[in-house]
Chains A and B, each alone.
Chain A
């Protein structure tokens, strides 16, 4: 029994949309943690509180996107879900640990105002885990693209050995993910701050953008030898137009950030991240686990996908207006701190 390919494609599309939302919104929250860790200079405290203010009302809603991705993956592609969970046990545990410590550190820190020491300590937990989590997610993506997750020949999957986990390409994709998050975060923060603080974040956006460029430059040649399927599609196949577009957007991003064209920074950054993500998605298609398992092979039944897609449409009709309302209330430019 094979599942209808159109349904499969639609379900993958919904995953990619969810991933895009997660990358942009939660990515900015993780990046906020990175800048919390790297807060420096005379406005160190102002930087930290600007970050906390920006994240406060929205981080939980942004976090739900990862839950969405998980549940959709095991609803629509249960076999792929099982493969990833077994093979990537170690890196996924790190993702999980990072998410717990990040959320716990952030929530608890916000309420420990009168205990500077505890607050400093929790802030450290929050910021370090904000670096670890996107790193581990990028790392997982790199491991899968490298084809390191392999079947055991008895219908199950092998855990990816450390030698493969620690190969250069997955490490570089992890670092790239951290830089991308930092870049979006710094860009978003320029919209929510003013004066010298804004200047701080603009410089940070440039710096993070440099990191993105650096790790892309290292990653592409590494992919050539370690992740041939991916790099073939990226550089010579169907993802090439998107890769070119990403390059153009990167350049544009550099220009608008360097020149302080505030109103353009955010749209360009968002477009850049989305294009990078979709380029990766296009290059990885049709595999859920490169090159052993396709989305088609791992899909649920027609009945399940049909019901799922129908519910997705209904759910989106409720979700989208609610999200817009949330961001309208809290994310105009220069929002005041919401009072508790």
Chain B
């Protein structure tokens, strides 16, 4: 399940971010009538069609897996948190329908109608995130039901379950993560093109849109990161302590970066401590006391090394991602030639995978930090898995399928790009060709 989710989320973030970028590029075209923007939008829409298709099948896989691997979890949770999943079905419909109109409608709809089809497409992506994150947040902060003394569920309130305490912050953080990832992914592709000597308007504008977009949303993303940390402190103090590698309950707690948590010695070996920062992050108050892991029974501790490391990767890489945006802002008017510099372009190329690494490690933090609970303080993982046998062969088979699909998809996307170049080369100087792409 974890690996399927990690696979799916790579496409899902594009499903959320690309529609926005498509609308930006197409909007710029409608405004300026500069055909380069139209070419960008058309190329992106084609590539997006492929990633969306793969996203849809990996998502299908997840819906089945929820049942095939976690039937007892779903039996328990379905009646409480099924609501957002059902609503997500509608969001998928909207996204699939308007993607088809967008993709196949370039020559069938008026430019205006075509552009407007982007709006439901964007909404579809935002809404599917809304609903699915609601379900995930509920696993972190389960509400909307009571357990009676026999362990039976009563007083179900699907609305309260959907709008559980972790939901607002987790939703915003995930949504902006998706936008950040899409922006950097696009910027990285065009930076790579520029590095290979394709120094034309098409690549420059592609880079500019992606980078500007990512640089604008990233600061918002970091603010939501602070909000989510405050929320975790309140709702899942053990998870927070694990993320931070904080064994002892501490007043004016420092933030420990890196290092390897050692459960025996109850300390982080080789970490860098930044005084007061944890208390500030968690409570916005340098003198606040933060609960350590010692306050909780050891059998409920998650995997400390994994959670601490994943969290550190997210915040350090996430903060480092500010750099390309800041440099670009500075260079914009004063040092335009920096945009031609190899080192700067390489940095942008690296920021694409870096954003993805951030996002994946964020999810590892959230999901592993919840262990051993599948539903926090309610249902353990061992009580949610299937009783069916033969899972291992299944797992291997589907892993192979993933790998094959990914390899094929990447090679086909590369081929699409090189075909476009061949056509351009055949048709004249770069950047001025219009027509069917």
Q: Which residues of A contact B (CB under 8 A)?
A: 1, 56-58, 60-61, 63-64, 66-68, 70-72, 74-76, 78-79, 81-82, 84-86, 89-90, 92-93, 95-97, 99-101, 103-104, 106-108, 111-112, 114-115, 122, 156-157, 159, 300-301, 303-304, 307-308, 311-312, 315, 318-319, 322-323, 325-326, 329-330, 338-340
Contacts of B98 in A (CB 8 A): 322
* Distance from B55 Cβ to chain A, minimum over Cβ atoms (Å): 10
Contacts of B436 in A (CB 8 A): 339-340
Chain B, 388-428, CB within 8 A of any chain A CB: 388-390, 394, 397-398, 401, 405, 408-409, 412, 415-416, 419
Cβ–Cβ contact A304 & B107, under 8 A? no
A107 to B94, CA, bound (A): 19
Check if B237 is an interface residue, CB within 8 A of chain A. no
Cβ–Cβ contact B92 & A103, under 8 A? no
A101 to B402, CA, bound (A): 10
Given A75-B85, A103-B60, A90 contacting B67 (CB threshold 8 A): no
Identify which of A68, A86, A108 contacts B387 (C-beta below 8 A).
Answer: A86
Check if B72 is an interface residue, CB within 8 A of chain A. yes
Contacts of A104 in B (CB 8 A): 53-54, 57, 401, 405, 408
Contacts of B89 in A (CB 8 A): 64, 67-68, 71-72, 315
Given A74-B67, A75-B85, A108-B408, A114 contacting B93 (CB threshold 8 A): no
Contacts of B99 in A (CB 8 A): 60
Cβ–Cβ contact A1 & B60, under 8 A? no
Nearest-neighbor residue (CB-CB) of A89 within chain B = B388
Chain B, 269-307, CB within 8 A of any chain A CB: none
Cβ–Cβ contact B100 & A82, under 8 A? no
B39-64 toward A: CB 8 Å interface, digit per residue (1/0)?
00010011001101110110111011
A57 to B94, CA, bound (A): 14
Cβ–Cβ contact A323 & B97, under 8 A? yes
Cβ–Cβ contact B103 & A340, under 8 A? yes
Given A75-B82, A107-B49, A330 contacting B104 (CB threshold 8 A): yes
A1 to B148, CA, bound (A): 13
Check if B314 is an interface residue, CB within 8 A of chain A. no
Cβ–Cβ contact A67 & B92, under 8 A? yes
Chain B, 93-143, CB within 8 A of any chain A CB: 93-94, 96-101, 103-109, 120
A103 to B409, CA, bound (A): 12
Contacts of A323 in B (CB 8 A): 93, 97
Given A58-B100, A60-B53, A339-B436, A301 contacting B79 (CB threshold 8 A): yes
Nearest-neighbor residue (CB-CB) of B66 within chain A = A74
Contacts of A60 in B (CB 8 A): 52-53, 56, 96, 99-100
Given A71-B63, A308-B86, A339-B436, A326 contacting B74 (CB threshold 8 A): no
Contacts of A76 in B (CB 8 A): 82
Contacts of A95 in B (CB 8 A): 64
Contacts of B54 in A (CB 8 A): 104, 107
Identify which of A114, A307, A308 contacts B419 (C-beta below 8 A).
Answer: A114
Cβ–Cβ contact B156 & A303, under 8 A? yes
Most buried by A among B96, B101, B154, B405: B96
Cβ–Cβ contact A72 & B72, under 8 A? no
Identify which of A64, A92, A112, A322 contacts B415 (C-beta below 8 A).
Answer: A112
Please list 27 pairs of residues, one from A and one from B, whose beta carbons are closer than 8 Å in the complex, sorted by A's number. Answer: A57-B101, A60-B96, A64-B96, A68-B89, A71-B86, A71-B88, A72-B86, A75-B82, A78-B78, A81-B78, A85-B68, A90-B390, A93-B394, A96-B60, A97-B398, A107-B49, A300-B78, A300-B156, A301-B156, A304-B158, A307-B159, A311-B90, A315-B87, A315-B89, A322-B94, A325-B101, A326-B101
Cβ–Cβ contact B105 & A329, under 8 A? yes
Cβ–Cβ contact A340 & B46, under 8 A? yes
A157 to B74, CA, bound (A): 14
A115 to B412, CA, bound (A): 10
Cβ–Cβ contact B60 & A66, under 8 A? yes
Contacts of B401 in A (CB 8 A): 97, 100-101, 104
Contacts of A74 in B (CB 8 A): 66-67, 74, 78, 82, 85
A326 to B61, CA, bound (A): 25
What secondary structure prevails in chain B residues at the interface with A?
A: helix
Q: Contacts A82-B78, A159-B388, A300-B82 given; 16 further ones with Cβ under 8 A? A: A68-B86, A71-B86, A78-B78, A82-B67, A84-B67, A86-B388, A97-B401, A301-B79, A303-B158, A308-B82, A326-B100, A326-B101, A338-B107, A339-B107, A340-B42, A340-B104
Contacts of A79 in B (CB 8 A): 75
Cβ–Cβ contact B64 & A96, under 8 A? yes
Task: Please count how many residues in chain B sit with their CB below 8 Å of the partner chain's CB atoms.
Answer: 75
Contacts of B200 in A (CB 8 A): none
Nearest-neighbor residue (CB-CB) of B75 within chain A = A82
Check if B83 is an interface residue, CB within 8 A of chain A. yes
Nearest-neighbor residue (CB-CB) of B386 within chain A = A86
Cβ–Cβ contact A156 & B92, under 8 A? no
Contacts of B416 in A (CB 8 A): 111
Cβ–Cβ contact B108 & A61, under 8 A? no
Cβ–Cβ contact B60 & A57, under 8 A? no
A322 to B401, CA, bound (A): 33
A67 to B105, CA, bound (A): 25
Check if B340 is an interface residue, CB within 8 A of chain A. no
* Distance from B92 Cβ to chain A, minimum over Cβ atoms (Å): 5
Nearest-neighbor residue (CB-CB) of B58 within chain A = A100
Check if B71 is an interface residue, CB within 8 A of chain A. yes
Check if B201 is an interface residue, CB within 8 A of chain A. no
Contacts of B389 in A (CB 8 A): 159
Nearest-neighbor residue (CB-CB) of B413 within chain A = A111
Contacts of A92 in B (CB 8 A): 64, 67-68
A1 to B145, CA, bound (A): 15
Given A74-B78, A85-B67, A338 contacting B94 (CB threshold 8 A): no
Most buried by A among B71, B99, B415: B71
Identify which of A75, A96, A107, A318 contacts B86 (C-beta below 8 A).
Answer: A75
Cβ–Cβ contact B88 & A100, under 8 A? no
